Chains A and B, each alone.
Chain A
Amino acid sequence: MFRWMSRSKNGSANGLHVESDYLIDLRNIEKAYETEAGPFLALQGIDLQVKPGEFVAVVGKSGSGKSTLINMITGIDRPTEGEVIVRNTPIHTLSEGNMAVWRGKNMGIVFQFFQLLPTLTVVENIMLPMDFCNMYTPGERYDRAIELLQMVEMEEQAHKLPSAVSGGQQQRAAIARALANDPPIIVADEPTGNLDSYTADNVFAMFEKLVYEEDKTILMVTHDTDLANRVGRKLTISDGEILTDEQLREAQPA
C-alpha cells in the first residue's frame, strides 16, 4: 500500500559493481579481533546468501557472533577476510563516507535501544535520513515521514520528543526511520529485546507486513525463539559459525 512512495535506486556506489545472484552475498567471511589475550575469531567461514523478500532471523547465544554478522552486512564492521556483496556492491571496499551514504539509501537499521536522537521530535527523527542522503525533495520529506508514522500507527506522536513516548512507540518510530529512504533491506538487531511481549508482537507483525506486503528483505537478530520460528528462514550462529540454516517458509517472489 505504500508502494507509491517507493523510489527506484541504483544499489551500487561509486561505480563499484560485482555480479551476484543474491541480494546479500557473504563469501567466506572471517572476522578476527585483536584482544590483550591474543586474536579472537568472532566469525569464521561464513558463506551466506539472502534473496530479495526473505525474512531471516539470526539466533544464537550471547557472544556467538550474531551482531558481528549483522554488522558485516550493514557495513558497520568490516571482515578480516572474505567479501560482503550487497545489491551487487562490495560494501567491504567502501570508504567510511561512501558507506554511510550507501547504507542510508539501501539499508534501514533498527536497534535494540531504539536510538532516536533525543533532541529531535519523532517526525524529525524520521526526516533525518532523507536529509542526510538528500532523498526526496524537502517538501516531500515531511509528508513521507508522516505517511510512515501512519504506517506504524504513530502519527499522533509525530511532534513529541522521544522521551515523551513509550519504548514500544520509540521502536515503531525507529522502524519508520529505517524505512525513511525506502531501503530494500532492513536490518534489526534485537528489535524486540527491550519491549514487553505484547509490544514485541506488534513490532514483529509490522516486520512481517514489510516483508510480505512491501517486498522488503529483513534480517533480524533475536533471542526470542518464538519469533525466530515465525520468520521464513532461521540462522543459528555458534562460536562465529553458522550452525544451522533452516528454511521455515518460502521467500516471497521479488
Chain B
Amino acid sequence: MKFKPRWIKVLRDLMFNKSRTALVVISIAVGVTAIGMVMGAQSVINEDLPRDFFAINPASAIVFTLTTFDDDAVQAIRDLPEVEEAQGRRTIVVPFRTPNGNWRNMQLYALPDFEDIRINQLKPQEGAWPPEEGEILIERSAFVPNLGFDGIDIGDSVTIKAPNGKEKTLRIVGTAHDLNQFPPQLAQSAFGYISFDTLDLLAEPREFNQLEFIVAENKLDEDHVKVVSDLVQDELEARGVSVVFVLAFPPGEPPFQSFIAGISTLLVVMGFLSLGLSGFLIINTLAAILTQQVRQIGIMKAVGGRTHQLVWMYFGMVVVFGLLAVIIAIPLGALGAGGLAGILGFFFNFDVRGFAINPQVVVVQVLISLLVPLLAAIYPIIRGTRTTVREAISDHSMGKGQFGTRPIDLFIVGLRRVIPGIKRPEQISLRNTFRRKGRLILTLMTLSLASVIFISILSIRASLQQTLDEALGYFDFDVQIRFSRPYRAERLTREGLGFDEVSEAEVWGFGGGRRVRPDGSESDNIIIQAPPADSVMIEPVMLEGRWIEPNDTNAIVINNDVLRNEDDLTVGSRVTLSINGRDSDWVVVGIARSSFPQPAIYTNAEYFSRATNLVGRGQAVLLKTTPETDLSQFSSIIETHYRDRGFRVEETQTVDQARSILTLFFNIPILFMLAMAVVLGIVGGLGLMGTMSINVIERLREIGVMRAIGASNWSVLWIVLLEGMVIGFLSWLIGGVVALPLSRVLTEQAGQLLLQSSPSYIFSVPGTIGWLVIVILLAVVASFLPARSASKVTVREVLSYE
C-alpha cells in the first residue's frame, strides 16, 4: 500500500524526531498506564476477592465472649429460626519461641472438627490437613520471617507457652488460608490453628469463646444482621455467657473491604489526575510541534494544502502518538495491575491471578489513548494550522513570546532592583520564563499539581501520625496485659510492681455493654473501660463535662464516637446499659475525645466492679515503666512472669507495638499515594523537559546571537537550567499555597476514611521543604538535555537554520 506524501510526511516527522515522539508517547503512556494499572487492579480485586470471600462461607457476625460456652449453646443459636448456621471456636493468645530465642505472641484458633468447618472456612494450603493432636497449622501469610517464623519450616516444631504457663511443643504440619482474618501483616500477629485434642494438651477446656453465625434471611441486609445479632447475644447472655462485643462487617464484604475500596478510590483519582496532566503535556508538546512546523505549514498551504487537510494530518499524527502509547501502556498497565493487585493481595492476604490483560480495561485504555490526546490536540492544531502562508514565510523574527508589556513582565524586570547582584544571564532566565505565558501556565499546572499532591500527602501522613501520637498520648502507660478472666486487682498490681522496671501499675475493669434506648431498642456493643478514678494512666481530652471522680458511682464518660449512633446523649443524660445481660442505670457526666475510632465508655473501676459483681478484681493491668526500660524485651519477660504464676494472659501489648501497627495501617495508603505522586512528578518532569526543549528550539536564533556576542557553553547551559529551576520553584510555591487549604480538606477525608473521625491537622513543613529539593532536582534533570543541546548551538548552524 502506497501512502500519500502528506501521510509519509506525518510518519517521517514522527521518525525523524524520535526524542520528541518518545516524549509525547511517554507522556500519553504514563497516564494511560496509570489508568490501566488502577482499573486492572480494581477488576482483579473486584473479581478475585469476592470470589474467594464467598467461597469461605463468611459469617454474618462474630460474637466475642468473656466467658466460655459449649456445644449446647451453639446448637441453641443454630436452632434460632433467624439463624441459618452457627459454629463455635476457641481462641487464645500464646507466646511462641522464635528461632532467635525471643517470645512472640500468636493467636491460636481451636476448631472442634477441621473436616466440618461450616462458617469462615479455612482453606488448606501446604502440608497436612487436618492437624492432629500436638500439631498446628499456620496461617500462610503469617508464616513469614517478620512475624517470628524466620528459619522455621513445615515439619519443624515450635515451642509455645500454654495459658497455664507450661511450655508445650507443637509440630507445624502445614499452612492454611484464613481470608476472614484481618491480615496478619497488619495485625502484626501470627495465627495458628489447632484441634480440640491439642486444646486438651494445653490444659484448656474444650469450650468456645467465639461464636460465628450466618443469618437465615436477608443476608446482605445490615440492619437485619444487627437485629439477629441482638437476638443471638440475648440468647447467649440468657445462658450466662458474658458477651464482650459483636463484630459484624458490612454484609458480603471481607473485613478490610472498605480499606481496599478507600485505597482503590484514591488510586483511581490519582490515575485520572496523571491522565489529565499528560493531557496538558500533550497540549504543550503539540503546540511546540506546530510552532516548529509553522514554516512547513505555510509551504504546504502555498502548494495547495487546505487547512482541513493539514488539520487531519496533525490529528493523524496524534492518533499515531496515541497508538504508540497504547502499545506501551497495555502491557505495562496489565503488569502494573498485576503488581498492584499482588501488593494488595499480599497485604490483605487474598489470591490474585497476577498478570492478565483484561479486555474491558484494554478498550478503556485504547479509547483514552486516542481520545485524550485528540481532545488535547484540538486547540493547538486548529491554532497552528490557521497560520497563513504570509505569516509562515515571513517569520524571520527572533524567538517567540511576548514579554515586556504586561504587569507581570514589568514586575520581573523590576526584580533586578530587589535581587542584589543578579547578573544579566540570570535576568534572561527569569524573563524567558514568562515569555510564553500559555505554555508556562500548562507546565506549571502539571508540576504544581504534583507539588500539591506531594505536599498534601505528606501533610496527611504527618497529621495522621500526630493524631496517632495524641491517641497514644491519651493513655500514659507502656505495657498493657489483658487476661482472659478477672483476677484480684491487688495481686495483679503486686506482681507488676515486683519488677524494678515498673514504676506504676493500675488494674482496669474491662467489659462490653449495649445501650438500651428509651424506645427499647439496643445499640451496638460498646467497650467499657473502668480505670481507677485517680488513674494516672489516662489523660482524657474532655470535650464537655468532666472526667470521672473517686466518689462517682454510676457516672460514665462517653467518647465522641458513641455520639455517632447515640446522638441524643449529652452531659446529664440518664442511660440504661445492658452489661452481661443485666440492665443498669448510669449518668453521662462528660464527653471525651476518642483516642481510637471506636465507641467507648469510661467509668469508675470501683463502681464498675460492684456493678459487674467483680469487686476487687480486674481483667487488665497497665504498667508504667522506667524510662531506660527496653519495652519489647520487658513485655516478654513480664508476660512470662504472669503466665508462670498461673495468670491466663490473653494479650500483651506495648505502646510501641500499638504505634507500629497503626502506623503501618496509615502507611499503606500513604505509600500508594506517594507512589502516585512520584508518577505525577515524573509526568511534571516530562512536561518541563518538553517545555524547555521547545523554548530552546524557538530561541535558537537568540542563542546563536548570544553565542556570536561571546556567550560560553556554560553561560547558555546555565541560562536554560536556571529557567527550568525558576519554573520548578514557581510550581513549588503555587503547590505549597494550594496545598495549605487543600491538605486540610484531604486530611479530614483521609481521617474519615481511615479512622472514621476527624484527625488533628498539621501542615508538613519538612515535606514541603523536601519537595522543594526534589522539584529543583527534577527541574535540573528535566532541563539538562535541552540546556545541553542549547549549549552546543553554533552561530553557523543558527544562521543556516531555516
Q: Cβ of B295: which chain A residues have Cβ within 8 Å of it?
A: 115
A65 to B802, CA, bound (A): 23
B308 in complex: contacting residue of A97, A125, A138, CB < 8 Å: A97
A97 to B309, CA, bound (A): 10
B9 in complex: contacting residue of A76, A115, A120, A180, CB < 8 Å: A120
A120 to B12, CA, bound (A): 7
A15 to B214, CA, bound (A): 84
Q: Cβ of A101: which chain B residues have Cβ within 8 Å of it?
A: 304, 306
Q: Which of A41-80 contact B (CB under 8 A)?
A: 71, 74, 76-77
Q: Cβ of A125: which chain B residues have Cβ within 8 Å of it?
A: 5
Q: Cβ of B796: which chain A residues have Cβ within 8 Å of it?
A: none
A104 B303 Cβ-Cβ under 8 A? yes
Q: Cβ of B389: which chain A residues have Cβ within 8 Å of it?
A: 74, 76
B296 A74 Cβ-Cβ under 8 A? no
Q: Which of B1-35 contact A (CB under 8 A)?
A: 2, 4-6, 8-9, 12-13, 16
A76 in complex: contacting residue of B2, B307, B309, B388, CB < 8 Å: B388
Chain B interface, number of residues (Cβ within 8 angstroms): 27
B303 in complex: contacting residue of A71, A113, A177, CB < 8 Å: A177
A34 to B687, CA, bound (A): 37
A103 to B305, CA, bound (A): 9
A119 in complex: contacting residue of B2, B12, B307, B390, CB < 8 Å: B12
Q: Which of B298-315 contact A (CB under 8 A)?
A: 299-309
Q: Which residue of B lies closest to A177 (CB)?
A: B303
A76-B390, A115-B393, A120-B12 given; A103·B5 CB < 8 A: no
B307 A128 Cβ-Cβ under 8 A? no
A132 B309 Cβ-Cβ under 8 A? yes
A133 to B306, CA, bound (A): 9
By CB atoms of chain A within 10 A, which of B13, B304, B393 has the most? B304
Q: Which residue of A lies closest to B6 (CB)?
A: A131
A100 B13 Cβ-Cβ under 8 A? no
Q: Cβ of B307: which chain A residues have Cβ within 8 Å of it?
A: 96-97, 100
B281-309 vs A, CB cutoff 8 Å, 1 = contact: the mask equals 00000000000000110011111111111
A94 CB to closest chain B CB, in angstroms? 12
A124 in complex: contacting residue of B8, B296, B303, B308, CB < 8 Å: B8
A97-B307, A105-B304 given; A117·B2 CB < 8 A: no
A119 B304 Cβ-Cβ under 8 A? no
A77-B390, A115-B393 given; A129·B9 CB < 8 A: no
A76 to B5, CA, bound (A): 23
Q: Cβ of A129: which chain B residues have Cβ within 8 Å of it?
A: 303-304
Interface size class of A (residues with CB under 8 A): 20 to 34
A161 CB to closest chain B CB, in angstroms? 9
Q: Cβ of B12: which chain A residues have Cβ within 8 Å of it?
A: 119-120
A76 to B304, CA, bound (A): 12
A76-B393, A77-B390, A119-B16 given; A128·B9 CB < 8 A: yes
A105 to B303, CA, bound (A): 8
A100-123 vs B, CB cutoff 8 Å, 1 = contact: the mask equals 110111000101010101111000
Q: Which residue of B lies closest to A187 (CB)?
A: B302
A115 B299 Cβ-Cβ under 8 A? yes
A157 CB to closest chain B CB, in angstroms? 16
At the interface, is chain A mostly helix, strand, loop or mixed?
Answer: helix
A104-B303, A109-B302, A109-B303 given; A127·B388 CB < 8 A: no
A99 to B13, CA, bound (A): 26
By CB atoms of chain B within 10 A, which of A97, A125, A128 has the most? A128
A71-B390, A76-B390 given; A100·B304 CB < 8 A: yes
- Decide if A222 is an interface residue (CB 8 Å cutoff): no
B301 A100 Cβ-Cβ under 8 A? yes
- Decide if A181 is an interface residue (CB 8 Å cutoff): yes
B16 A120 Cβ-Cβ under 8 A? no
Q: Which residue of A lies closest to B295 (CB)?
A: A115
A76-B388, A76-B390 given; A104·B5 CB < 8 A: no
A124 B9 Cβ-Cβ under 8 A? yes
A128 B303 Cβ-Cβ under 8 A? yes
A132-B300, A180-B303 given; A111·B393 CB < 8 A: yes
Q: Which residue of B lies closest to A114 (CB)?
A: B802
B339 CB to closest chain A CB, in angstroms? 39
Q: Cβ of B302: which chain A residues have Cβ within 8 Å of it?
A: 74, 76, 103, 109, 111, 115
A128 B5 Cβ-Cβ under 8 A? yes
Q: Which of B335-392 contact A (CB under 8 A)?
A: 388-390
A181 to B304, CA, bound (A): 9
A103 to B304, CA, bound (A): 6
A90 CB to closest chain B CB, in angstroms? 18
A117 B299 Cβ-Cβ under 8 A? yes
Q: Cβ of B390: which chain A residues have Cβ within 8 Å of it?
A: 71, 76-77
Q: Which residue of B lies closest to A103 (CB)?
A: B304
B393 A132 Cβ-Cβ under 8 A? no
Q: Which of A142-193 contact B (CB under 8 A)?
A: 177-178, 180-181
B388 A128 Cβ-Cβ under 8 A? no
B27 CB to closest chain A CB, in angstroms? 22
Q: Cβ of A124: which chain B residues have Cβ within 8 Å of it?
A: 5, 8-9
A100 to B2, CA, bound (A): 25
By CB atoms of chain B within 10 A, which of A96, A115, A125, A133 has the most? A115
A71 to B302, CA, bound (A): 11
| Subset of 7 A-B contacts with CB under 8 Å | A71-B390, A76-B302, A100-B306, A115-B393, A120-B9, A124-B5, A181-B304
Interface pairs A-B: 9 shortest CB-CB:
A104-B304, A119-B12, A129-B303, A133-B304, A132-B304, A132-B305, A128-B5, A76-B389, A124-B5
A109-B302, A117-B9, A129-B303 given; 19 more Cβ-contact pairs under 8 Å? A76-B393, A77-B390, A96-B307, A97-B308, A101-B304, A101-B306, A104-B303, A115-B295, A115-B302, A118-B16, A119-B12, A120-B9, A120-B12, A124-B5, A131-B4, A132-B304, A132-B305, A177-B303, A180-B303
